[in-house]
Structure 1
Amino acid sequence: MNYIVIDLEFNQDIPNTTMDENNFQIDKKVLCPFEIIQIGAVKLDSKYHRFSTFNRFIKPTIYPNVSPFVAELTGITTEQLLTEEIFPDVYMAFLDFIGDTESIFCTWGMSDIKELFRNTRYHQLDYTCLPKKYINIQPLVSLHFGISSKKLLRLQTAVESFNIPINQAFHDASSDAYYTSEILKKLQPSYTEIKIYDPDKIVIQAMNPKKTIDVEGLIKQFEKMYNREFSEEEKGIVLLAYKMGKTQQFIKE
């Protein structure tokens, strides 16, 4: 049995503030709102010995231009990805990396495993080859330090708390996978922490009236706060930040 510690970096659509919000939600942006542009992974054996790594960048085809927010956060640029292979090709290489041995995905939070399956489904690739067993490391760290599992720590905070040497930049899929694997070694979770991810599970929710973002009102509020008019680029960043905030992807402790 192997542990596959994975970390992903995503790109998103650069919002057009003049676009009607209803139109924004009916196409590929709903099917795949986060496009994977980097896969980083570390493979550990059953005794937590690292014996292989994976690091590949991906040429985006859903959102060809890397958003300013993502570029600032990760350092990944549109120009950098132009010569990389597209997701289906990198995905096949990733499956080869995983291999035929029974494996357990280990992730920092749930967003990476969800988006991996969603990207695979979007590209109409066979996701049945991916491991379904997984361990979410993030809440286990909180419990380890006597904190509620609902109070989630940032990866960097956890690394510092475990006194793991910081010699690579964060917000890089390869580096973050390495740090997460080092934390996994410290925790060595029991089999009771292993869960099964069902990518085909459909969550039935009560029907609520469809809500849209008042883009004009949102921008006006920010312009009022800063007492000036915003450029089109600034308006796009505000809308993107608002939508990313709603995903709760970057909640800190």
Structure 2
Amino acid sequence: MTTFVLFDLEFTSWPGALEGDWQEPGQLREIVQIGALRLDDRYAVVEEYETLVRPVTNPRLSPYFTELTGIQQEKVDREGVAPARALSDLLGFCQDQSVLSYGNDMVVLGENVGWARARGEELQHSWLAARFLNVRPWLNHVAPTTATANVGRLWRVLGLPRPGSGQEHSALFDCHSLAAALRHLRSTGATLPDGFL
């Protein structure tokens, strides 16, 4: 059975960070939550991965981030894992797969891999053992109404049923939103370009 992975990240943020491209002193895009889905060739979910991650440089979540994502400091403190463990687990989940994101989350993932290595932390799986691709340009081209939508709103913009529980800006919910969009587009005859899978 052919499979591929969708993934999404929630990472530290502050008011104006997106607009300023996280250039203010101390503003690093540290991963706080990872969501991933393994889909089969019919785009049905066959496996899920989700974890919270404890940021290192900015261990206290900003009120802005908490309001945006609903992720509470206490939950990260209690359930969050070390970055090297979370990154290793995700890279293991993605190994030998095409890994699609709606946007350049692979850049943020790469930053976090680099910081973990710079701290001397060992990762269990290689970044190079997966093929990371940004599906957003293709998706926006075949469904122009999605051009201004974030990943967690794709289902709504396309008029689809809500893809389960959760909320926008929750990594796993956002993955389900992307999966719903891909299934819908497939049902209309759109197929992912060659090389994506």
TM-score by length of 2: 0.76
User: How far, CA to CA, are the matches of 1:146 and 1:67 in structure 2?
Assistant: 33
**Aligned positions of 1:51-200 closer than 5 A:** 51-83=46-78, 84-99=80-95, 102-110=96-104, 112-124=105-117, 125=123, 127-136=126-135, 138-146=136-144, 151-166=147-162, 167-168=164-165, 169-188=167-186, 189-192=191-194, 194=196
Q: How many angstroms does 1:4 deviate by? A: 0.8
Q: Report the AA paired with residue 85 of structure 2.
A: D
Q: Report the AA paired with residue 115 of structure 2.
A: Y
Which 5+ residue runs of structure 2 have no aligned equivalent? 17-22, 118-122
Do structure 1's residue 10 and structure 2's residue 11 form an aligned pair? yes
User: How far, CA to CA, are the matches of 2:94 and 2:140 in structure 1?
Assistant: 28
User: How far, CA to CA, are the matches of 1:156 and 1:14 in structure 2?
Assistant: 20
- Residues 12 and 32 of structure 2 are in contact (CA less than 8 Å); yes or no, is this contact kept in structure 1? yes
User: How far, CA to CA, are the matches of 1:156 and 1:51 in structure 2?
Assistant: 20
- Residues 9 and 171 of structure 1 are in contact (CA less than 8 Å); yes or no, is this contact kept in structure 2? yes
For residues 10 and 130 of structure 1, do their structure 2 counterparts lie closer, same or farther at Cα, with a shift above 3 Å needed?
A: farther
User: Equivalent residue for 1:231?
Assistant: none
User: How far, CA to CA, are the matches of 2:171 and 2:144 in structure 1?
Assistant: 28
Which protein has the larger Cα radius of gyration, Structure 1 or Structure 2?
1
Q: How many angstroms does 1:2 deviate by? A: 2.2
- Residues 13 and 64 of structure 2 are in contact (CA less than 8 Å); yes or no, is this contact kept in structure 1? no
Identity of aligned residues (%): 21
- Residues 153 and 177 of structure 2 are in contact (CA less than 8 Å); yes or no, is this contact kept in structure 1? no
TM-score by length of 1: 0.61
- Residues 4 and 42 of structure 1 are in contact (CA less than 8 Å); yes or no, is this contact kept in structure 2? yes
User: Equivalent residue for 2:20?
Assistant: none
User: Equivalent residue for 2:19?
Assistant: none
Q: How many angstroms does 1:55 deviate by? A: 0.8
For residues 174 and 152 of structure 1, do their structure 2 counterparts lie closer, same or farther at Cα, with a shift above 3 Å needed?
A: same
Over residues 174-198 of structure 1, what are the superposed CA-to-partner deviations in whole Å (9 max), with x where a residue is unaligned? 1001111121222343333639xxx
Q: How many angstroms does 1:13 deviate by? A: 6.8
User: How far, CA to CA, are the matches of 2:30 and 2:141 in structure 1?
Assistant: 31
For residues 11 and 103 of structure 1, do their structure 2 counterparts lie closer, same or farther at Cα, with a shift above 3 Å needed?
A: same
For residues 194 and 142 of structure 1, do their structure 2 counterparts lie closer, same or farther at Cα, with a shift above 3 Å needed?
A: same
